[in-house]
Structure formats: structure tokens, C-alpha cells
């Protein structure tokens, strides 16, 4: 109990008024180079946000989007727990619709914030925190849609999105700007995922076991390879050749611009290194039964909280201009799991499937409780400091917003002023 009290006190001390004061000068910054976002989806998002009532808080918009993913993960457990299928066609279409609605609400929550005059640093923390939770969960739907099952390929598909999310968060910490390239995960990546889900719904997930040449020819290039054979190369290759180099370049430029040393920032890759290495050591161990016993969903749900805690701490440090957080207590049981799954390598007897399963279940409970306790503590501290609500709009904010629209109707404000207040355009600016 005293240790828990010390942890709570440490969190509260790390969120003192002197530290949170940076939130009052908060200004969201982002660059989105995607042609699809800028010339097509932007118009859809601008039209969609007008359908939302002005009393709906932007963080609630974010949460509603996440609910579409959570519901579909539940549907996976009910109708296709083996992640292989084939499931009913409507299930794959539900995946696609859920990811589309998540993407839509994730892109209009910032517009809703500007539209209601409720932009704050809490919005970025909440938005990107939900994105971190969603990394493994939405990708789990992709695993099911392609019929990969509880296999090493299925685990790769479900967990690989954590890498680009971490490095984008690391990049934002140093540059204070979210950079999205010409081809990026939140836009083109999700559109590809949605397309795959729709194709699986129409043709069945077995289509991904067919040879590529059956659809696009070019046998001299693809030979006998199936879509599954090329999946790891395409996904991992795009991350290593496009996303990671861009993140590193932007961080290096930002550090040099501030006359700060560059090499020390690469030590900050330690958390994702330990996270990734421990997952590989545990799941891919020949002595682990998690994949063979079809525990991938349980594992990914657990990892969503572990990874969410890791990245959210970085986002909070970015917003409050604090040192980079290298450690989260939720990593410790993951290292323990990697050790547990490899006991025979150390001359110890292999644990039973039952013991490993209960260890993972206990880990999930611990991760959920620790994550929610920390999240609620941080949200409560920030909302108290800024005098705002998290999931609702305070009455005084609503009155100020209504005055803007009323003055515009009476001709007291020009169009330029209203646009400045309502924030037309832009990307997810809370």
C-alpha cells in the first residue's frame, strides 16, 4: 500500500503547476503531405463534422471512434476466435466499417474542438493516447481479415504498427510537430486495411493464399509467391525504408537547429527495443504455448495497455516539456513473460500452458488497472489545472461558443473571425 501511495505521489509531483503551465501556451502543430487527405478526405471530414452537435465534446468524439474498434474485437471473439475463419461476410464488412468510422472520428475530433472552442493540450494527449491503444486492436482485425490466425504471421500483423506509432511519437517529442508523409499509416495505411477487409468479405480470406501472378501477372517478378508470402516484406520494408528514415531525419534537423547533440537521442529507442525484443522472445519461443493455444487476442489486448502507457508518457512529456520517459512499470511483466517462455534455455523446466495462460491473464489485469489508474490521475490533474472537462463541454465554454455564432448571425463578426474561432481545415488540432 505504501508503494502504491509513493507511486501516486510521484505522479502528482510530476504534474505540479510549474510543469503543467506549459499546457497554457499549447499549440498543436502538424504537417500532412498525403494527397488523399488534402484533396479528397479533407472535404469529407469538413462535411462530417458539421453533422456533430455542438454540445458533443471532442474527446467524446475520439472515444466513440475507438468504440467501433472495441466492438469489432468483441465480434472477433464471438464469431471468429481462431482468427482464421472464414467468418460470415458481414463480419469482414463490419471490420471495414469500424476502421473507417474510427479513422473518420479520429480526424474530425480536432475540428470539433476548434468548432466548439475547446482546444487544449488534453485533446492531443487523449487523441494520441487512444491511437496508441488502437495500434494492436485495429491490427488484430487485419489479422482476422486475412485469416492469419494465432500464428507468428498473425502476431507480426497485429503488433508491427506499434513501431511506426512509437517513432512518430518520438519524432513529435523532439520536433513538436506531427509529420505525416505523402504515404502514411493513418490515411493510406488504413485505406489499404479497409480494402483488404472488404475484399475478404466478398471473396473470403482464402484469397490471400493465392499466387500474386493470378491477379497481376509478372511471373518473372513474383514467381510462385502468394500475398501472404510477400506480406512481411511489404509491411516491414515500407517501415524501414520510408517511415523510420523520415522520423530520424526530422529529429536530427530539429536537434541541430537547437544546437543540441544528436547521438544521445538514439538512446531513447531503448523502450521500444525492450518492448519488441521481449514480445519476440516470448511469443516466438518454441517453449511458449500462447500462439499454439490461440491466445493472440488476449496477448494483443494486454499489449495495447502496455504500449499505450509507454507512448502516452512520451506525449505527456512532450506537452509539458519534460525529460524523455525511458521506463514504465508495465514493461517489467513483459520481460518476465519473455523469461517464463524460455525457461528451458536456462536449464529450468518448461512451464505448463495453464501457468503461462494465468500469468498472461494476471498481466492483463495488472496492465489495465495500472493504465486506467494513471490515466485517470493525469486527466483529473490536467482538467483541474486548466478548468475544463474531459468528456463534456463546460457550460461557460458552451455559452462563449454560442455567442460567437450569435454575433456572426447579427453581423458583428466577419467570416475571417468566425473561421479563426471555428478552425476550418487543419489536421486533428485540439
Tell me the three-class secondary structure of the chain, residue by residue. Answer: CHHHHHHHHHHHHCCCHHHHHHHHHCCCCEEECCHHHHHHHHHHHHHHHCCCCCCCCHHHHHHHHHHHHHHHHHHHHHHCCCCCCCCCHHHHHHHHHHHHHHHHHHHHHHHHHHHHCCCCHHHHHHHHHHHHHHHHHHHHHHHHHCCCCCCHHHHHHHHCCHHHHHHHHHHHHHHCCEEECCCCHHHHHHHHHHHHHHHHHHHCHHHHHCECHHHHCCHHHHCCCEHHHHHHHHHHHHHHHHHHHHHHHHHHHHHHHCCCCCHHHHHHHHHHHHHHHHHHHHHCCCCCCCCCCCCHHHHHHHHHHHHHHHHHHHHHHHHHCCCCCCCCCCHHHHHHHHHHCCHHHHCCCCCCHHHHHHHHHHHHHHHHHHHHHHHHHHHHHHHHHHCCCCCCCCHHHHHHHHHHHHHHHCCCCCHHHHHHHHCCCCCCCC
**Neighbour-count burial for 129-140, b at 16+ CB within 10 Å, e otherwise:** bbbbbbbbbbbb
Extract the C-alpha cell encoding 216.
497481376
Catalytic residue among 22, 43, 128, 176: 128
Residues 6 or more apart from 339 whose CB is under 8 A from it?
346
CB atoms within 10 A of CB 223: 11
The alpha carbon of residue 400 and the mean position of all alpha carbons in its chain are separated, in whole angstroms, by: 33
- Is 174 catalytic? The answer is no
Catalytic residues: 128
Amino acid at each position: 500500500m505504501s508503494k502504491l501511495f509513493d507511486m501516486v505521489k510521484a505522479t502528482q509531483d510530476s504534474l505540479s503547476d510549474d510543469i503543467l503551465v506549459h499546457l497554457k501556451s499549447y499549440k498543436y502543430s502538424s504537417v500532412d503531405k498525403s494527397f488523399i487527405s488534402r484533396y479528397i478526405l479533407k472535404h469529407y471530414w469538413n462535411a462530417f463534422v458539421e453533422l456533430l452537435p455542438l454540445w458533443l465534446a471532442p474527446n467524446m468524439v475520439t472515444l466513440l471512434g475507438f468504440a467501433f474498434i472495441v466492438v469489432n474485437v468483441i465480434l472477433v471473439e464471438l464469431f471468429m476466435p481462431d482468427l482464421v475463419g472464414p467468418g460470415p461476410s458481414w463480419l469482414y464488412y463490419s471490420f471495414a466499417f469500424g476502421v473507417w468510422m474510427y479513422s473518420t472520428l479520429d480526424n474530425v475530433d480536432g475540428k470539433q474542438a476548434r468548432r466548439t472552442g475547446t482546444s487544449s493540450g488534453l485533446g492531443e494527449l487523449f487523441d494520441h493516447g487512444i491511437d496508441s491503444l488502437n495500434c494492436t486492436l485495429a491490427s488484430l482485425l487485419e489479422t482476422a481479415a486475412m485469416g492469419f490466425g494465432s500464428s507468428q504471421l498473425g502476431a507480426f500483423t497485429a503488433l508491427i504498427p506499434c513501431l511506426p506509432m512509437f517513432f512518430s511519437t518520438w519524432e513529435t517529442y523532439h520536433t513538436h510537430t506531427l509529420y505525416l508523409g505523402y504515404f502514411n499509416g493513418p490515411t493510406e495505411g488504413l485505406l489499404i486495411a479497409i480494402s483488404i477487409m472488404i475484399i475478404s468479405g466478398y471473396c473470403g480470406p482464402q484469397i490471400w493464399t493465392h499466387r500474386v501472378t493470378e491477379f497481376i501477372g509478372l511471373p518473372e517478378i513474383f514467381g510462385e509467391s502468394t500475398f501472404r508470402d510477400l506480406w512481411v516484406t511489404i509491411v516491414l520494408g515500407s517501415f524501414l525504408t520510408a517511415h523510420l528514415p523520415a522520423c530520424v531525419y526530422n529529429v536530427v534537423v530539429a536537434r541541430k537547429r537547437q544546437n543540441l547533440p544528436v547521438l544521445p537521442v538514439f538512446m531513447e529507442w531503448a523502450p521500444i527495443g525492450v518492448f519488441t525484443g521481449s514480445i519476440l522472445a516470448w511469443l516466438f519461443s518454441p517453449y511458449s504455448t500462447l500462439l499454439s493455444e490461440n491466445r493472440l487476442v488476449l496477448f494483443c489486448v494486454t499489449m495495447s495497455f502496455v504500449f499505450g502507457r509507454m507512448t502516452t508518457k512520451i506525449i505527456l512529456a512532450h506537452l509539458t516539456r519534460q525529460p524523455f520517459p525511458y521506463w514504465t512499470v508495465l514493461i517489467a511483466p513483459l520481460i518476465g513473460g519473455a523469461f517464463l517462455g524460455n525457461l528451458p534455455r536456462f536449464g529450468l523446466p518448461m512451464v505448463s500452458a495453464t501457468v503461462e495462460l494465468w500469468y498472461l491473464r494476471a498481466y492483463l489485469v495488472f496492465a489495465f488497472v495500472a493504465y486506467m489508474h494513471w490515466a485517470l490521475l493525469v486527466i483529473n490533474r490536467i482538467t483541474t489545472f486548466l478548468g475544463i472537462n474531459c468528456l463534456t463541454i463546460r457550460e461557460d465554454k458552451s455559452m462563449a461558443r454560442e455567442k460567437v455564432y450569435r454575433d456572426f448571425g447579427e453581423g458583428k463578426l466577419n467570416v475571417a473571425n468566425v473561421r479563426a474561432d471555428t478552425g476550418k481545415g487543419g489536421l486533428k488540432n485540439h
